[in-house]
Amino acid sequence: MDYMERALSLARLALGNASPNPAVGAVIVRDGAIIAEGYTQPPGSAHAEVEALGQAGDGARGATMYVTLEPCCHFGRTPPCSEAIIESGIAEVHIATLDPNPQVSGRGKEELERRGIKALLGEHEEEARQLNEAYIKFITTGLPFITAKFAISLDGKIATRTGDSRWISGEESRKCVHQLRREVDAIMVGVNTVLSDDPQLTARGMDGQPLERQPLRIIVDSEARTPSTARLFGERGRTMVATTSAAPRAKVGELQEVGAEVMEFLSREGQVDLEQLLRELGSREIISVMIEGGSTLLASFFEQGLVDKAIVFIAPMIIGGRRAKMAVAGEGAERIAHALRLGRVKVERLGDDAMISGYLGG
């Protein structure tokens, strides 16, 4: 059995719930069998290593631990995991990747080795880093990791000329979107998406019901055109409307009355300054944001170089039409050589749809 693979699968269970901490999984093995396992609990609660050690009890003495991220060695919301490992009597620790947090970054591994525990590094390192790509960006830059997500037809449309878009993607793709929503801290859309689609923007479980924990919903709306009757205001979770000084005070008041947090940002050519918005989200320890439309907002993020990852669902249909909506608006590239290209591309099949994902900026 690949014990680090098991630890990674546990870590995935913590995505979203562990933020702003990294999502970590830990497995303790003795005599070729797993005796305990754990994953990061919500902030202020036990980390993966401590969860697993609590299960193992005295059985941890002389055993081997597999953990997806270097154990922390400093006091934060909880005591250091490295000290708990040392006190447990664990004999050997396999670490997938080092923690880029400047307070840790190799020190956790060194502490284990200094206390006589064998520490091995690098098993499934790429997978471990990808799993915590949002944490890695946030802890090194203070900014959230930005994913652009959209669904298109084979001819690149997101809706018909009348605005009808339900549903371009198939059921399996839509289930995947709810899983993606479960894993991020915030979902962002432009006001035109709210006006045209009136989305709920919720993360739902396999039964179709909204989950207890919902990502923050962010509407980028420079003039506060979002209607106070929008369906998303009736959903579980919090909503922020990012606006500018151009927003009428009366409209701001209406949105606040239905529970929205309305926050004013600088104006950049009549639009919300996205860089300032992202800095504000980072200051709130929001480490991951998924942009779900519309085409104007997506264009702004791409053009300003603010997107880290793109996830595109492609449905096997042809919509056609000069006036049918496209996924990314804006001016676009003048030459193919100037077009944005994805790296580390993955292609997956979801029902009849294809899902293409990849990274921008290297």
Q: Provide the pLDDT confidence category of residue 297 given band limits of 50, 70 and 90.
A: very high
Q: Treating both helix axes as pointing N-terminal to C-terminal, what angle do 48-56 and 81-88 enclose, rounded to 10 degrees?
A: 20
Q: Where are the alpha helices (DSSP H) in the chain?
A: 3-14, 48-56, 81-88, 107-114, 125-131, 133-141, 171-183, 191-197, 249-257, 274-283, 295-303
Question: Percent of the chain beyond pLDDT 70?
Answer: 98
- As a whole number, mean pLDDT of residues 136-163 equals 93
- As a whole number, mean pLDDT of residues 314-341 equals 89
Q: What is the DSSP letter of 143?
A: S
- Peptide bond before 167: cis, by omega within 30 degrees of 0? yes
How far apart CA 295 and CA 332 sit, in angstroms, is 12
Per-residue pLDDT at 331:
84
Long-range contacts of 240-247 (CB under 8 A, 24+ apart): 240/216, 242/218, 242/272, 242/277, 243/272, 244/270, 244/271, 244/272, 246/222, 246/270, 247/221, 247/222, 247/223
Calculate the CA dihedral of residues 304, 310, 316, 322 and round it to 10 degrees: 0
Per-residue pLDDT at 164:
78
Q: Where are the alpha helices (DSSP H) in 184-272?
A: 191-197, 249-257
Per-residue pLDDT at 244:
97
The CA-based diameter of the chain, rounded to the nearest angstrom, is 69
Per-residue pLDDT at 264:
97
Three-class SS state of 346: strand
Q: Provide the pLDDT confidence category of residue 362 given band limits of 50, 70 and 90.
A: low
Using one digit for the tens of pLDDT, what is the confidence trace for 113-123?
999 999 999 99
74 pLDDT more than 70: no
293 pLDDT more than 90: no
Q: Provide the pLDDT confidence category of residue 333 given band limits of 50, 70 and 90.
A: confident
How far apart CA 34 and CA 330 sit, in angstroms, is 53
Q: Provide the pLDDT confidence category of residue 206 given band limits of 50, 70 and 90.
A: confident
Strand ranges in 13-164 using DSSP code E only, listed in sequence order: 25-30, 33-39, 64-67, 92-95, 118-121, 145-153
Residue holding tokens 């300032």? Answer: 276
Vertex 205 angle, CA 204 and 209, to 5°: 65
Question: Percent of the chain beyond pLDDT 90?
Answer: 78
Per-residue pLDDT at 94:
97
174 pLDDT more than 80: yes
How far apart CA 164 and CA 141 sit, in angstroms, is 39
**The amino acid at 317:** M
Per-residue pLDDT at 78:
64
- As a whole number, mean pLDDT of residues 125-147 equals 97
- What values do phi and psi take at 181, rounded to 5? -65, -35
The radius of gyration of the chain's CA atoms, rounded to the nearest angstrom, is 22
Q: Of 19-28, 95-104, 124-133, give the lowest mean pLDDT range.
A: 95-104
Q: Find how far residue 152's CA is from the centre of its chain.
A: 21
How far apart CA 29 and CA 228 sit, in angstroms, is 54
Vertex 274 angle, CA 239 and 179, to 5°: 50
Which pTM value belongs to this model?
A: 0.93
99 pLDDT more than 90: yes
Per-residue pLDDT at 332:
85
Query: For the chain, what is the mean pLDDT?
Result: 93
Catalytically annotated residues? 49
Using one digit for the tens of pLDDT, what is the confidence trace for 40-69?
999 888 899 999 999 999 999 999 999 999
215's CB contacts (< 8 A; 6+ apart) are 16, 181, 182, 184, 185, 186, 187, 203, 237, 290
75 pLDDT more than 70: no
**The amino acid at 204:** R
Calculate the CA dihedral of residues 169, 173, 176, 177 and round it to 10 degrees: 0
Upper half-sphere CA count for residue 49 (Cβ side, 13 Å) = 28
